Copies of this chain bind each other. A is one copy, B any other.
Amino acid sequence: MTEEIEVIYEKLLYFYEQRKFADLRMLLLDMEPADIAQFMEDNFDEKDLLVFFRLLPKELASDVFVETDTDTQETLIKAFTDKELKAVIDDMFLDDTVDIIEEMPANVIKRILQSATPSDRKQINELLSYPDDSAGSLMTTEFISFPASITVEKAFEKIRKTGLNKEIIYTCYVTDSRKKLIGVVTVKDMLLADKEDIIENIMSTAVITAETLEDKEEVVQKFSKYDFIALPVVDKEGCLVGIVTVDDAVDVMEEEATEDIQKMAAILPTEKPYLKQSIFSIWVARVPWLILLLITSTFTSMILSHFESQLTPVLYAFVPMLMGTAGNAGGQSSVTVIRAIAVGDVEFKDIFKVILKELGASALLGLTVGVVCFAKIMLLDNLYNPITLNEAGIISFVCFISVVMAKLVGCILPLFAKAVKLDPAVVASPLMTTIVDALSLIIYCTISIAILV
On A, residues with C-beta under 8 Å from B are 1, 29-32, 34, 156, 159-160, 163-164, 169-170, 187-188, 191-192, 205-206, 208, 210-211, 214, 218, 223-229, 246-247, 249-251, 253-254, 257-258, 260-262, 264-267, 273-275, 277, 279-280, 282-283, 286-287, 289-291, 293-295, 297-298, 300-302, 304-306, 308-309, 313, 316-321, 323-325, 328-329, 331-332, 335-337, 339-340, 343, 345-346, 350, 353-354, 357, 360-361, 364-365, 368-369, 372-373, 376, 380-381, 384-385, 399, 403, 433, 437, 441
Contacts of A1 in B (CB 8 A): 210-211, 214, 218
Contacts of A267 in B (CB 8 A): 332, 335-336
- CA gap between A248 and B250 in the complex, in Å: 12
- CA gap between A65 and B403 in the complex, in Å: 40
- CA gap between A228 and B160 in the complex, in Å: 21
- The residue in chain B whose Cβ has the minimal distance to the Cβ of A358 is B282
Asked whether, in the complex, the Cβ of B192 is within 8 Å of the Cβ of A164, the reply is yes
Asked whether, in the complex, the Cβ of A160 is within 8 Å of the Cβ of B328, the reply is no
Q: Which 6 A-B pairs rank lowest in CB-CB distance, beginning with the nearest? A: A227-B247, A257-B257, A265-B335, A297-B321, A279-B360, A30-B206
- CA gap between A316 and B310 in the complex, in Å: 13
* Other A-B pairs beyond A261-B339, A273-B343, 10, CB < 8 Å: A1-B211, A169-B187, A250-B250, A254-B343, A265-B332, A279-B361, A282-B361, A286-B361, A287-B365, A294-B372
Q: Please pick, from B294, B304, B337, the residue contacting A369 in the complex, using a CB distance under 8 A.
A: B294
Asked whether, in the complex, the Cβ of A324 is within 8 Å of the Cβ of B246, the reply is no
- The residue in chain B whose Cβ has the minimal distance to the Cβ of A407 is B286
Asked whether, in the complex, the Cβ of B156 is within 8 Å of the Cβ of A169, the reply is no
- CA gap between A297 and B329 in the complex, in Å: 14
Could you jot down 13 A-B contacts, CB within 8 Å? A163-B188, A224-B251, A249-B250, A266-B332, A267-B335, A273-B340, A275-B354, A289-B332, A297-B324, A300-B320, A302-B381, A302-B385, A306-B384
